[in-house]
Amino acid sequence: MPTNYAFLPDGGFYLADGYGAYRVHRYDKDGNWKSLFGAPGKEDGQFNTPHGIWIDDRPGREASVVVADRANKRLQWFTLEGKHLKTLDGFILPANIDRYKDIPAGPPI
């Protein structure tokens, strides 16, 4: 039960399964399933309603996947392969993610 998707430059995409398996699926440009990451839970790398998803490709850092982990009230960063990098707590039911203009990326994760 998808909640959102994010496209890669090559046409592949990630699909957040926020109301089903609580995982993020990766597909190639032809819609073929490639992999998944995450699981239900509260630990880093786990989700409780992965809702919004965004490819953070701002200059100055490696591209990463950012997931709005809605019911856990946080954002989580992952490598493009699905390895957990960082968690940022303190949100109230985050639903989506995007950037505003060209705000600097800040220090690398």
Write down the pLDDT at residue 105. 56
Report pLDDT for 97: 85
Q: Quote the tokens at residue 102.
A: 């060209």
Does residue 76 have a pLDDT over 60?
yes
Q: Does the pLDDT value for residue 107 go beyond 70?
A: no
Total-model pTM: 0.89
Distances from the Cα of 98 to the Cα of 21, 57, 62, angstroms: 24, 11, 17
Q: What is the pLDDT of residue 59?
A: 82
CA dihedral 27, 28, 31, 33 (to 10 degrees): -40
pLDDT at 88: 94
Q: What is the rounded CA–CA span in Å between residue 78 and residue 52?
A: 14
Note the pLDDT tens digit of each residue in 20-75: 899 999 999 999 999 999 999 999 999 999 999 999 988 888 999 999 999 999 99
Query: Residue 22: what residue type?
Result: Y
Q: Which residue has the higher pLDDT, 1 or 6?
A: 6
